[in-house]
Amino acid sequence: MKIEKLKDEINCIWKKKEQGKKIVSKRDVSTIMETIKNLDSGKVRVTEKINSKWILNQWVKKAVLLSFQVTEQKIIANGPGKSYWWDKVPSKFEGWKKNDFAKAKFRIVPNAVVRKGSFIDKDAVIMPSFINIGAYVGSATMIDTWATVGSCAQIGKNCHISGGAGIGGVLEPLQSSPVIIEDNCFIGARSEVAEGVIVEEGSVLSMGVYISASTKIVERKTGKVFYGKIPKYSVVVPGSFNDKKSKVNLYCAVIVKTVDEKTRSKTSINELLRN
């Protein structure tokens, strides 16, 4: 089914759901699962950049939510100690053989959890981490150990999401956009980016930076305050902010400079690790 046709069908199914009708027809279920399949292969995305602006595809989020409604929980094998999991969303790699991995051209390390409906581009490296349904991981990006990529989160190419970092996802409300990490970004260990924040191209977050939609992002040089967006090529560290009306300093993120050669040398992607 063509993408525009899928979009129309998903919107019609969603209207049925809003009217309290059960989604039971084979056609409806097939349409929903075809959309998830297209998410999994990267043919559709929850958000996409059009004319330099990120556009949210609500219909794709609707399909993800509908998939939970039409899918039954089942046993998922290969848990620790010969145990099992009990869930609705299977592994992305369920049924994969050697040829499937060879065709996909990315590396997946044992104990990484990647759910069906997420996309991983070629030359990416996935360490033992968690990637949720609807997420997008660009080419030559590394998701390091114990990092989390939330539902529908978007990560560009040539990025490094360091150990224990959290990239927030969002399914509801429908109009909310997920976190977007643009190309060539470095997210430091144990950092957290949530609530639809956009980290623009080439930016570097140091270790332990926490940014939500309401976090002040202060440019040290000018004092300018941003919310919900890290300007491109920014170097960001944790800081504190005092509005002079209070004796209490509150947490903020501080843009200390723009990316220079010294920063690039410290955060550059090692191509040897991507081969």
Residue 187 CA: distances (Å) to CA of 92, 136, 161, 164, 200: 24, 16, 5, 10, 12
Q: Please spell the DSSP secondary structure of 120-140, one letter per residue.
A: E-TT-EE-S-EE-TT-EE-TT
192 is catalytic: yes
Active-site residue, from 9, 121, 123, 144: 144
144 is catalytic: yes
Please, are residues 153 and 133 in contact by the beta-carbon 8 Å criterion?
no
Active-site residue, from 117, 168, 169, 202: 169
Please, are residues 194 and 178 in contact by the beta-carbon 8 Å criterion?
no
Distance CA(60)–CA(148), nearest Å, equals 21
169 is catalytic: yes
Active-site residue, from 9, 28, 123, 192: 192
Please, are residues 131 and 138 in contact by the beta-carbon 8 Å criterion?
no
- Enter the tokens of residue 132: 């949720």
* Cβ density class 94-103: b for 16+ within 10 Å, e for less: eeeeeeeeee
Which residues are catalytic, by number? 144, 169, 192
